[in-house]
Amino acid sequence: MIANPTTDKRLTGAQFIIRLLRHHGVDTVFGLSGNGMLGLFDAALDHELRIIDMRHESAVVEAAGGRALASRQTQVCFVTEGPGLSNALGGIAAMNHDGIPVIVITNCESDELFGTGTFQEMDQVAMAKPISKWSAKIHDAAHLSDWIARAFRQARAGVPGSVVLTVPNHILLADCAAEGVELRTPTFSRATTECVPSAFFAELVLAKLRSAQKPLLLVGSGAYWDRADAALLQFVRRTGIPVGTCDLARVLIDDKEDLCLGDGRPFMLPPSLMQADVVFVLGERIDYMFDFGRRWSTDTAFIQVYSDPVEIGRSVDVEVSSTANTRLVLEAMTAALGDEAWPIGPWARQAVNESRQHRIEALGDLSDNPSGGIHPAAVALEVEELAGPEATIVIDGANCANWARLALRARRSDHYLEWGRLGMIGMGLPYALGAKTVRPLSPVILIVGDGSLGFHFMELETAIRHNLPVIVVVCNDSGWGIERHFQRGIFGRETCTSLSTVAYDEMATCLGGLGLSVATRADLRDALVEALECGRPALINAHTQDVADPLTKRVTKVLARKYLNRPQPPTTAGR
C-alpha cells in the first residue's frame, strides 16, 4: 500500500474493507445489518457497493451462493456477530459442502475484551471452522489487504467453498489507511491455481478410452468452475463417447446434444449403462451421488480427475487419476487426438437412446387429476416451455424437485440452479434472488415445494423491496412429500408430514407482489404468462398431486430393507 501525501484524511477499517472489495471486483453483496457491522454498511454508500439486505442470515449466505452460481465468480456477504453468525451456519455449511465460493465477513468484540463475557461473545472462528473451507480472524489492521486477498484465494482455489472472515470491532473502527492509498493485489493472490495435465496423462487416458468397448464420461461440478463448456463439447464430438452431466455440470452441455445422456448420476441412468467397461469421472467426487461406484460392474475401470487428491480413489479403485484443471485436461486430450475422430459406435447410440427412453418411461402419465391437481412434473415442463431460452430455472424441495430434475432438460450454462450434495432444502428463493442480481433482464423462475418455501418465505418481501422480480411456482401438496412417501412405503402409515393448505398467493399479494392460484395445467400456463409480463415479483400457488417420483420409490425400497430387516441386537441370555 502506498499513501498519497496530498491528503491527511484517514479511512477506518470498515471503509478500507469496502474499498478492497471493490478493488476485487465486488459490486453487490448480501447482508443483514447488526451493531458491529454498521460501519461496513455505511461505507458501502460511499463506494457504490450495492447491498441486498435480507431477512435471515442463512438466506444471506445462500443468496450470495446463488449469485456465485449464476456468475461463476466468488461472492461476498455480511452478517453480524454471535447469533447472526450462528444463524448463517446452515448456509455456510451448504456452500462449503456444495463447493460454492462465498466469503462471509462478520465482526466480533475487540481482542482485549474476549473472554470477559461481552455482548454476543462466541468463539466464532472455532464455530465456523468445521463447516467452512477456511475460518480466520484478522488480528491487525496493517495487513487488511492481505487478509481480504487470502479470503478470495481460499474460496476459489482447488475445490471452491465458503470462507468466514471475522474482523474485530476495534479494527473496523480504527483509522488504518490514508484515503489516497494505492491498492495492490498481493502476488500470492495473482498466482494461477490451474494445475496443468501432463502430455503423458492425456495420452494414457486416451489409450484407455480408445481400447474401451463401452466407455462412459460423467462430468461434475469441477468442470463447471473450470469453465470447461466448450472444451467438453469439442472432446465429446471428437471421441463419440456418451456423456452424462451431474451436479453443477448439468448445464455444461445441452441435453439435446447427440451424445448427451442427460443427468449422469447412476440412479438416473438405465441399468444397462452400469455395464460400462471404462467410466471417466471428470471434476467430481465418487461419493453417495455415484453410489460409491458400487452400481457398476466389478470389472469396470475408473478414471478420475478431481482437484482434491484426498477424494481420488476414496470409495473405489481408480486406475488413472489427476488433480489437473478439467478444462485443460479436455483441451490436452483433444489436442493429442490430432486429426483423429472416433466414430459414434453402437454402444454410444444404445446408451443415448436407452437414457432418453428411460426418462420418458419414468415420467409416465402427467395428466391433471380432477381431485388432486397438477402433476408436479407437468409444472416443470410448463415452466420450461413458457420461460424461454434465456430464463434461469431454480429448483428446491425434495419430491417435487426430483420430478423437476427428471422433467427439465439442461439447455444453457449457468441457467439451471439447485441445491447440491448436502441436500439442504429451503435455499431456492435466496438462490433465485442471487441469480436475479446477475440477470436482471431475464426471467428467473423458482420451482419449489410448499415445505421448502416455508424456510425463507419472507425473502419474497426482500425481492419486492429490492425490485427483484423473480417468479415463484409453489408445488403445493400440503405436506412434506418425500417424507410422507418414505413413511407410507416403510411403515404403512405416516406422522408429522402434513401441512396446512396455505394460500401462499394471498400472502404474496399482501406483501405487494402478484399472487395467483391454479389447479390445472391450462390455468398454470395462463398464470405463467401473466407473471412473466407483470414486471414484479410473482407467486403462483399450484395445487399439485401427491405422487411419489421414481427416485423416491427406489430409495423407499432401500430404506425399507434398512428399517425392517435390521440386524437384531446381541442376545443377553445367561447374564
Check residue 260 and give its pLDDT.
94
Percent of the chain residues topping a pLDDT of 70: 93
| pLDDT level of residue 236 (50, 70, 90 thresholds) | very high
pLDDT surpassing 50 at residue 313 = yes
- For residue 98, the 8-state DSSP code is T
Q: How far is it, in rounded angstroms, from Cα 555 to Cα 546?
A: 17
Q: Assess contact for 516 and 532: CB atoms under 8 A.
A: no
Radius of gyration of the chain (CA): 25
| pLDDT level of residue 224 (50, 70, 90 thresholds) | very high
pLDDT surpassing 60 at residue 151 = yes
Q: Which residues contact 420 (CB under 8 A, 6 or more apart)?
A: 94, 97, 98, 99, 100, 221, 247, 248
The 10s digit of each residue's pLDDT in 551-569 is: 888 888 888 888 877 554 5
Check residue 3 and give its pLDDT.
42
Q: How far is it, in rounded angstroms, from Cα 541 to Cα 16?
A: 45
Element (H, E) at 164: strand 162-168
pLDDT surpassing 60 at residue 123 = yes
pLDDT surpassing 60 at residue 573 = no
Q: Which residues contact 311 (CB under 8 A, 6 or more apart)?
A: 285, 286, 287
**Lateral strand order in the sheet of 538-543:** 416-418, 392-396, 444-449, 471-476, 538-543, 514-518
Q: How far is it, in rounded angstroms, from Cα 116 to Cα 176?
A: 26
Residue type, 225: W
Q: How far is it, in rounded angstroms, from Cα 379 to Cα 533?
A: 19
Check residue 187 and give its pLDDT.
57
pLDDT surpassing 60 at residue 329 = yes
Q: Which residues contact 353 (CB under 8 A, 6 or more apart)?
A: none
Check residue 566 and give its pLDDT.
58
Q: How far is it, in rounded angstroms, from Cα 126 to Cα 132?
A: 10
Q: Assess contact for 262 and 358: CB atoms under 8 A.
A: no
| pLDDT level of residue 297 (50, 70, 90 thresholds) | confident
Tell me the pLDDT of the chain averaged across its residues. 90
Check residue 567 and give its pLDDT.
55
Q: How far is it, in rounded angstroms, from Cα 17 to Cα 95?
A: 23
Check residue 121 and give its pLDDT.
77
> How would you classify the pairing of strands 175-178 and 10-12?
antiparallel
Q: Is the pTM of this model over 0.85?
A: yes
Q: How far is it, in rounded angstroms, from Cα 521 to Cα 324?
A: 47
pLDDT surpassing 60 at residue 491 = yes
